[in-house]
Chains A and B, each alone.
Chain A
């Protein structure tokens, strides 16, 4: 059975110490995080910053869009060959616009989809939380097994937590 434990701090340095204490106590990265009411610079608390995969979405989308556009422009021109201005049937400059537009369109749409996926919203199980975080308190939250909860609480208290909450 896993348990969520939250330590509340009114000093950002204490919260950073709590993160160090949890690391030192052997809790794996990704099981604990810092909750703030305003964005601190990334890494300010020594928190684990997971690698996002957003860049894959526009790249994949652009490849799909480019391929579709290539098929569309080639197939339509071959199916309905009209020589225009003495240029070849498959004229690159005429195709470039469609290739560019469809690549971009597909990249943008897939990025929107990617952001929805990466955002992981709505967060249906936010775990333990305290409304005072939006007032400026800093929360350090850890999700761990029941038998390790006391170790986590000790680490959080050791860094000077003003309050501990569990759920």
Chain B
């Protein structure tokens, strides 16, 4: 053990005095193992009921999807809500693994019980890829009516955005599954050793002969680092691709260098929110109070607060250029995407992504509570959804024949979702949640090995007149 740190001082000690923050108790390895493996079978009937409900909703979504393809194929304006839900799902579930990756790289101890759930969220890349198919096929070619439309693919082949979207999504799926597998291998071995039936057989296959030797632990760390890095690069690239090819380039005159960053920042904010809601539900419905402490909620709550403020910074950074630019295209951006047909959606988004969470999460008492942090997370998710609706429905509503205009002078009216849009959106969310729930039936929702290492390296100790966490941090 290279060093030992006292993980407290001001904040912890103060919180402890106020009685808000009890230090977590250590859990014996065999107890942690049996309780966490049991979560893969816990609430069997309730989970089955929910799985059926979500499964039916997913199926309804897929059927609506097929019907929409049949009757509205080729009408770009009709696919705005599908684009919005894809962008929302990628923003929310795609951003969650970063909650695990970044603190793990920084060797934060609080992230251990959270990392598995955050990584499992990346499985939603499978749903995203399916829902992306009609968007990719409906995206205009680079040459429209004999002229090249404006895009980031200056000299690229006609189908560059389509091809790169497929490449990016394939890489996303590979890096998602790779990250889950790299991090989950010891827990697949746990399922092999202590699971039953098909879960045991699957664990045996996925563990690839894992026995926990020195070399295996060491190479596992390398694999996690590598897959985490690959996921991060893919995450950034897909935000760039979604925001430019599937939104910005569809609106003549919309040029915003900050938009891809804004997209990624709000995605990390939504990823934090999804993680909070996931661990809140796991704590409440799977009885994991012993493993999910206030420390996790408090830490993510602070990050969520920071990213809420960052949203404001990035939005204003983009807005101020258009506000002072005053050219025709600058004015178009303000009139079409803010004051125009989606004005109330924009107001809702600003209130829910930024203003309300800001004045909600600003209070220490809120961030130090399980429910308070979860409410803040729910607000942010609703806000990010509205924001994606504002951006993507507006972008997809611009008719293809106007794509060569210097900038839009007449704005398409508000596009409201029809029944199929609503079913497709509900189906996409249901399929995403179902996928994560099913994954937690194969792998414990909290990583057994990481929770055990937390217990191995952690001691609650008396320090003068207070109690502190003593945490070993190996190199």
Asked if A134 contacts B190 (CB within 8 A), the reply is: yes
Contact of B217 among A39, A48, A129, A141 (CB under 8 A): A39
Asked if B189 contacts A121 (CB within 8 A), the reply is: no
Known: A131-B194, A134-B212. A36 touches B222 (CB 8 A): no
Provide the residues of chain B in CB contact with A136, threshold 8 Å. Answer: 28-30, 33, 452
In the bound complex, what is the Cα–Cα distance between A164 and B452 (angstroms)? 24
Provide the residues of chain B in CB contact with A42, threshold 8 Å. Answer: 214, 218, 474-475
In the bound complex, what is the Cα–Cα distance between A131 and B54 (angstroms)? 35
Asked if A123 contacts B29 (CB within 8 A), the reply is: no
Contact of A39 among B208, B223, B230, B449 (CB under 8 A): B449
In the bound complex, what is the Cα–Cα distance between A17 and B144 (angstroms)? 75
Q: Does B456 contact A (CB under 8 A)?
A: yes
Mask, B207-240, CB within 8 Å of A = 1, is: 0111111111111111100100010000000000
Known: A118-B219, A122-B208, A136-B28. A40 touches B456 (CB 8 A): yes
Q: Does B2 contact A (CB under 8 A)?
A: yes
Asked if B217 contacts A36 (CB within 8 A), the reply is: yes
Least CB distance from B429 to A in Å reads 33
Nearest B residue to A6 via CB reads B211
Known: A42-B218, A136-B28, A136-B29. A35 touches B194 (CB 8 A): no
Asked if B215 contacts A133 (CB within 8 A), the reply is: no
Asked if B223 contacts A115 (CB within 8 A), the reply is: yes
Asked if A119 contacts B211 (CB within 8 A), the reply is: no
Q: Does B448 contact A (CB under 8 A)?
A: yes
Asked if B211 contacts A34 (CB within 8 A), the reply is: no
Asked if B208 contacts A37 (CB within 8 A), the reply is: no
Choose, from A49-57, A64-72, A95-103, the stretch at the interface. Answer: A49-57
Provide the residues of chain A in CB contact with B222, threshold 8 Å. Answer: 52, 54, 115, 118-119
Contact of B453 among A39, A115, A124, A127 (CB under 8 A): A39
Interface size class of A (residues with CB under 8 A): 35 or more
In the bound complex, what is the Cα–Cα distance between A50 and B218 (angstroms)? 10
Chain B interface main SS type: helix
How many A-B Cβ pairs are below 8 Å?
110
Asked if A37 contacts B219 (CB within 8 A), the reply is: no
List B residues 438-459 near A (Cβ within 8 Å). Answer: 448-450, 452-453, 456-457
Find the residue from B226, B457, B475 having the highest chain A CB count within 10 A.
Answer: B226
In the bound complex, what is the Cα–Cα distance between A166 and B212 (angstroms)? 18
Q: Does A14 contact B (CB under 8 A)?
A: no
In the bound complex, what is the Cα–Cα distance between A122 and B204 (angstroms)? 11
Asked if B214 contacts A47 (CB within 8 A), the reply is: yes
Provide the residues of chain A in CB contact with B189, threshold 8 Å. Answer: 134
Asked if B186 contacts A37 (CB within 8 A), the reply is: yes
Q: Does A26 contact B (CB under 8 A)?
A: no
Contact of A35 among B192, B211, B219, B475 (CB under 8 A): B211
Contact of A133 among B209, B211, B223 (CB under 8 A): B211
Nearest B residue to A138 via CB reads B212
Q: Does B145 contact A (CB under 8 A)?
A: no
Provide the residues of chain A in CB contact with B14, threshold 8 Å. Answer: none
In the bound complex, what is the Cα–Cα distance between A95 and B77 (angstroms)? 42
Q: Does B193 contact A (CB under 8 A)?
A: yes
Q: Does A20 contact B (CB under 8 A)?
A: no
Asked if A115 contacts B226 (CB within 8 A), the reply is: yes
Contact of B226 among A41, A47, A50, A111 (CB under 8 A): A111
Provide the residues of chain B in CB contact with A87, threshold 8 Å. Answer: none
Provide the residues of chain B in CB contact with A121, threshold 8 Å. Answer: 208-209
Asked if A135 contacts B472 (CB within 8 A), the reply is: no
Q: Does B1 contact A (CB under 8 A)?
A: yes
Q: Does A44 contact B (CB under 8 A)?
A: yes
In the bound complex, what is the Cα–Cα distance between A139 and B194 (angstroms)? 17
Provide the residues of chain B in CB contact with A129, threshold 8 Å. Answer: 211
Known: A42-B475, A44-B1, A112-B226. A34 touches B214 (CB 8 A): yes
Asked if A135 contacts B33 (CB within 8 A), the reply is: yes
Asked if A49 contacts B218 (CB within 8 A), the reply is: yes
Mask, B195-212, CB within 8 Å of A = 1, is: 000000000000011111
* Cβ contacts A to B, 21 pairs, < 8 Å: A33-B213, A37-B186, A37-B452, A38-B449, A38-B452, A39-B217, A39-B221, A39-B449, A41-B1, A42-B474, A52-B219, A115-B222, A121-B208, A127-B211, A133-B211, A133-B212, A135-B29, A136-B28, A136-B33, A136-B452, A141-B213
